[in-house]
């Protein structure tokens, strides 16, 4: 919401200057080939899989979201 109103208040020249400044920042980023980074990312994910709670689960005694007690309505 705030950004939308902010963009409406800026002139076209100001918006183009902001875009140019952003592009100047991005052009400085070092680029790498996806074939290399994809392989590295896959290897990293596979090496960390044994420690990933989404894959192996969380022990009941260490689960912070486990309900402490139940509620019974009779």
Residues 74 and 72: their CA atoms lie apart, in Å, by 6
Residue whose structure tokens are 């994809």: 38
At 2 the pLDDT is 47
At 1 the pLDDT is 42
Model confidence pLDDT, tens digit, residues 17-71: 999 999 999 999 999 999 999 999 999 999 999 999 888 888 888 888 887 777 7
Instruction: Say if pTM beats, i.e. exceeds, 0.85.
Output: no
Residue whose structure tokens are 């918006």: 15
Query: Region 8-13: what's the mean pLDDT?
Result: 84
CA R_g for the chain: 24
At 35 the pLDDT is 92
Residues 55 and 49 sit within 8 Å (Cβ to Cβ): yes
- Tokens matching residue 26: 């991005």
Q: CA-based angle 41:42:47, to the nearest 5?
A: 100
């Amino acid at each position: 919401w705030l950004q939308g109103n902010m963009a409406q208040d800026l002139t076209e020249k100001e918006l183009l200057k902001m875009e140019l400044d952003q592009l100047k920042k991005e052009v400085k980023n070092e680029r790498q080939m996806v074939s290399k980074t994809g392989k590295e990312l896959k290897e990293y994910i596979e090496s960390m899989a044994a420690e990933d709670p989404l894959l192996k689960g969380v022990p009941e005694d260490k689960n912070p979201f486990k309900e402490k007690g139940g509620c019974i309505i009779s």
